[in-house]
Chain A
Amino acid sequence: MPTGDFDRLLEAAGGDNNGSTTEDRTNYYEDAPSNALALPLWLDSDRMGFLLPEITAEKVDLQRGVVQNERRQSYENRPYGLAEENILQRLYPPDHPYHWPVIGSMADLSAATLEDVRGFFRTYYTPNNATLAIAGDITPRATRQLVERYFGDIPRGPTVTRPTPPAVQLGADVYATIEDRVQVPRVYDAWHSVKAFADGDATLDVLANVLAGGRSSRLYKRLVYELQIATDVVAFQDGGRIDGKFELWATARPGHDLTELARVIDEEVRKVAQAGPTPREVERAQNSFEAQFLSRMERVGGFGGKADQLNFYNYFVGTPDYFEKDLDRYRKVTAADVQQAARGYLVDAHRVVLSVVPQGKPELAVKQ
């Protein structure tokens, strides 16, 4: 179909679409009124089956410019925007697929050739490497017939083997400092943790919630509320297919350096590792997660809607039917689990400590 028709036809039917790529997977979605179900299937099957010969050098160059601007907008022109790629470089060896950011470096984006793009499409945008989820006001039999009709004649691609690099560990703590066009410094801690849905994954979500989940968390209370040396603190477990990482950051207030912040962060992490969270803290986190699960049931489309969730579960645990079991993982977490996770994955493990400081102010970085 002519360039641009994908979006034009969909909008003219009252629909929308978008896509995203993480380290592990790429997903596309089309949302459309139920009467127009055939349209997104026709469009999506056209993309999967017939885009390849339409990928030209001109189109690649144009979209290269768009993605370079995405990189500028979301990373380079955003305060602290280059922190994440600096962490990944230090957490993973150069040959590990998580070593570089998903968006790529400016040099990588400039270097990508037409053949690189076509080769990637030929290898990975194949029916045998894709799953399709449909959610909404549909009838299963008719929907299945439509799917067969539009996707049935798209040939298999090559068998895809997923990279399985050996597990990585840090041999020692890694301290690094980068300068940015910011006025106050921010400290990042990153540890290797566990893969998505592995044992400990939900426990680490609860740990992140206890440490920095909102204004009732331990680190918010110490750093922002009581000591007033930070403006914000964030922690999260980020599990992927190949590896996971646990990350924590805090931004200093003017007049405070990162060594001050790091001391309090370490103290609070150690406290959880030594004494564990209180039963109320665990229950509070569980209630918050349960409420999020409920709200996720409200929407069929878009990122995080029901269709996306079915694909997400299928990708990581091999079945789309995992909503209840996923919620159960959180219900089962105990204070002792959280304590053990804090000790095992944070206190007893090595980490990357990245200081992002204002230009010319290396003295604000965390001192070892």
Chain B
Amino acid sequence: MRRSDGRTVGPSDCIHVWMVITGVLLPSLSPTVRLSGQAVDRTKAPAFPPPPALKLPAVQTATLPNGLELAVVEMHKVPVVDVQIVLDAGAARDPADLPGLATFTATMLQQGAGRRGALDIADEAAFLGAQLNSAASYDAATVSLHVPKRRLEPALDLLADVVLRPAFADSEVARQRELRRAQIVQLADNPVAIAGIAFSAIVYGRSHPYGRPLNGTETSTASLSRDRVAEFYRATYRPNAARVLITGDVTLAEVRRLLTARLGGWERGPVATLAEAAAPAAAARTVYLVDKPGAAQSVIRIGHVGVARATPDYFALQVLNTILGGAFTSRLNQNLRETHGYTYGAFSQFSTGRLAGPFVASASVVTAKTDSSLIEFLKELRRIRDEPVPDPELAKAKAYITLGLPADFETTGAAAARFRELLVYGLPLDYFAHYADRINAVTAADVQRVARQHIDPDHFDIVVVGDKSQIEAGIKALSEGPIVYRDLWGQEVK
């Protein structure tokens, strides 16, 4: 403990302070700061008033005659606009024989559309200062545009071409297919990428969509063709299975006019209901070792099938995970990083999807401490079930989540990411108005209940990507389950 009284120091006349309020730089303060003479209590954190009420931008909606739903979030602070077309065309729709088709189709949208060639699209987007992206997750495909307001109209022309009139020329399909094959070769060099792919494959298996690699395999990539891409596009890229989210310096009326002109002619079409997929029954706790000779660290992933976005336990799980591995002061990070120094960071996450997504705890740890790290991981993962969370820890986690919300809505891109989640999972558009209340209602008993229900150490899949010759004996000595050998794709190594 330190006190400021008794210190006999002169005024600090040398710290320079700059302040800015909502974008206007104040005249820089005089560099000479005079002391007020008031002593500071260095032993006690200052008291401060309660936080201001959360102010969220409102979501307005409209529907075009072809069934395309628009959600508009007006944010007028900076003249930029973020547009996201969210489509029910995610990788969960990949045919079992062709993983990677949804992400490849999203990539192909930009490789020629309307009268524009692939390079024209890239050139035009850059010329407009626009970021144009098209990608797919398991649950959705998203075509997005982030652009200065004054270039919005030509950028929307480009966006409309990409979404409505992709060419899928044979030559471009071949070009992107070969690029993807080369990128897949490089995956095997990256232990973190290996851990992600192998973990999903091991937890879900190949018969569940979440078990297949988003960008496909070497074999599936070789089978990508114009016909398969065009067929996937025809079956899923429809206005009745899409929603548009516009965030930024626009009004609803303006958006309605601009998008009616560009997306009003988008033809409706039948989009098949996505089949349910059951997760495989959990196996007894097993360690899956992916050998990476010479690796300086072991990349660890521990988990199993978790919960869907629609789980009624969502808010309790947010609190639980913040305590366990969702913040710097979380238990996993404090233990493995701040107490033991085994890692640069340890985390955990419930990835919630349309279907039950994985729960995963993860870190990259120094090779020599792989076994010790597993001990600490398992200790924390068991303790959160066995003991109720103390009140101060619970309060800290709830405050961290609820008082951190304004930052999630500060920029157009960040706000779009939060609102996008509502569109993908069909949640009510006023969802965030009640978010803090739902978090604040979580009790220590709730946290323990959901920990016991959704974290199951007896059925952990423990994936370790590291130097087998250095780590195998130590892991075996833990007696936390059999060790089996897998490759990058999570498949058995004989």
Contact = CB atoms under 8 A, between A and B. Distances in A.
Interface of A: 1, 4, 7-9, 11-16, 31, 33-39, 42, 45-46, 49-50, 53, 61-70, 72-74, 76-79, 127-128, 130-138, 140, 143-145, 147-156, 181-184, 213-216, 221, 224-225, 228, 231, 251, 253-254, 280, 283-285, 287-288, 290-292, 294-295, 297-301, 306-307, 310-311, 314, 319-321, 323
B329 A11 contact: yes
Given A12-B396, A46-B42, A215-B122, A35 B407 contact: no
17 contacts: A9-B45, A11-B400, A50-B42, A61-B341, A64-B341, A65-B342, A68-B366, A69-B343, A69-B366, A70-B344, A130-B16, A132-B16, A140-B26, A147-B15, A228-B175, A228-B178, A291-B147
A148 B18 CA distance: 13
Nearest to A302: B407
Interface stretch (B46-54, B89-97, B161-169, B278-286): B46-54
B49 to A, nearest CB: 5
A134 B15 CA distance: 13
A14 B10 contact: no
Given A12-B399, A155-B9, 14 more contacts: A13-B403, A33-B52, A46-B42, A62-B341, A73-B343, A76-B296, A134-B18, A154-B9, A156-B12, A216-B119, A216-B123, A228-B175, A288-B126, A291-B151
Contacts, number: 296
A11 B403 CA distance: 9
B296 A4 contact: no
Nearest to A38: B46
Contact of B19 (A1, A72, A135, A214): A135
Interface string B1-20: 01010010111111111111
Contact of B188 (A13, A62, A74, A183): A183
Count chain B CB atoms within 10 A of each CB in A12, A37, A301, A323 and give the residue with the most. Answer: A12
Given A12-B396, A33-B406, A184-B186, A224 B79 contact: no
Contacts of B122: 214-216
A135 B36 contact: no
A73 B297 contact: yes
A254 B185 contact: yes
B341 A224 contact: no
Contacts of A138: 19, 21
B467 to A, nearest CB: 10
Of all A-B residue pairs in the complex, the 10 with the closest CB atoms, nearest first, are A14-B403, A65-B341, A291-B129, A215-B122, A128-B14, A298-B411, A216-B123, A76-B296, A38-B46, A216-B122
B482 to A, nearest CB: 26
Given A181-B189, A287-B126, A287-B127, A69 B15 contact: no
Nearest to A34: B52
Given A8-B329, A12-B396, A306 B127 contact: no
Interface string B394-413: 01100110111011001111
B290 to A, nearest CB: 13
B127 A283 contact: yes
A231 B182 contact: yes
Contacts of B175: 225, 228
B311 interface: no
Interface residues of B, number: 102
A62 B79 CA distance: 47
Contacts of B147: 291
Given A4-B334, A254-B182, A294 B78 contact: yes
A38 to B, nearest CB: 4
A155 B51 contact: no
B10 A155 contact: yes
Nearest to B35: A152
Contact of B179 (A39, A72, A231, A295): A231
A284 B26 contact: no
B77 interface: yes
A153 B342 CA distance: 38
A214 B118 CA distance: 12
Contacts of A292: 129
A67 to B, nearest CB: 8
B130 interface: yes
A13 B267 CA distance: 50
B189 A37 contact: no
Contacts of B399: 11-14
Contact of A251 (B78, B186, B334): B186
A153 B40 contact: yes
A225 to B, nearest CB: 7
Contacts of B57: none
A320 B127 CA distance: 29
A154 B329 CA distance: 28
Contacts of A214: 122, 126
Interface in B180-204: 182-183, 185-186, 188-191
A320 B186 contact: no
A144 B337 contact: no
B12 A314 contact: no
